[in-house]
Amino acid sequence: MTVPSPLVSADSPLSVAVPAVAERIAALLRSPSDMAVPIPGARWTVGEAAAHLMLANALMADLAAGRERPYGDGTPGGLAAANTASLEAFTERDPAILAAGIVRHARAFTDTAPSREPGAQLATPMGPMDLGHLGAYLLAHMLGHGYDIAVALRRPHMVSPQRALLTVPFLMTAMPRVVEPRTAAGHTACYDLRLRGGPRFTATFTDGALAVTDAPPRRPDCTIVTEPVTFLLIALGRRTATSALARGAILAWGRRPWLAPRFPTLFTAP
């Protein structure tokens, strides 16, 4: 699979976006808010989501620095179990402390990453990645949980088209790892995926096995065009394709356009 790696340098868009998103999340936590407010559609509260973000940012910073940190088994279920265990062990819920930790560890990542060998493969919770893809992973993770916190607190979220596009290299890398075996079993189809203002790539299922490439398809079964924020939020399980199609945020055509609503169901959100 050919997936271009994002640039991780002191002034790259990725290195600018990571601490900026961390600061936006921290601002939400520092404003008067109830950390016991539940996250809509999830089992966590705002406080638990913030604690998870602090722990995850610390994990990513350690990985960027070359420290090994085993976490889960690389599957969505394994990650969920590791998340539960880590939150049980880490009971801090003070918003000021969590806000400071989220920012501190995000900045540790962007301070450390440019000094490392860019092509070095790191063992991450979602499989081997170079620093660029790990940075895109970190950003996607913060945007997903930052979105949850903003929605729970009824505040504006920080997911912009530009930031969403920076996560695409990670999403492309992660897609084969999060295929849902039950819904993808026996599935064969070629999807031409296009993001408005961003990249075009191909996801090809062959009897349930997925290959992702940035090469255009020769003959897609279904072409799906969406804007980046919608794509990211659907990929992270925060929105549904059905609602996005109804709002016109997704367009689909091709030999089998009816496959478009099914496409997200072929995955388990990481």
Strand partners, 205: 189, 210
Q: Alpha helix (H) ranges present in 154-246?
A: 161-166, 168-174, 181-184, 228-235, 241-246
Domains of the chain: 13-167 (1.20.120.450), 179-266 (3.30.1050.10)
Rounded CA-CA distance 143/228 in Å is 13
pTM for the full predicted model: 0.94
Render each residue's pLDDT in the chain as its tens digit; 270 residues: 446 677 777 789 999 999 999 999 999 999 877 899 999 988 999 999 999 999 999 999 999 999 989 898 878 888 989 999 999 999 999 999 999 999 999 999 999 988 888 788 899 999 999 999 999 999 999 999 999 999 999 999 999 999 999 999 999 999 999 999 999 999 999 999 999 999 999 999 999 999 999 988 889 999 999 999 999 999 999 998 888 888 888 999 999 999 999 999 999 987
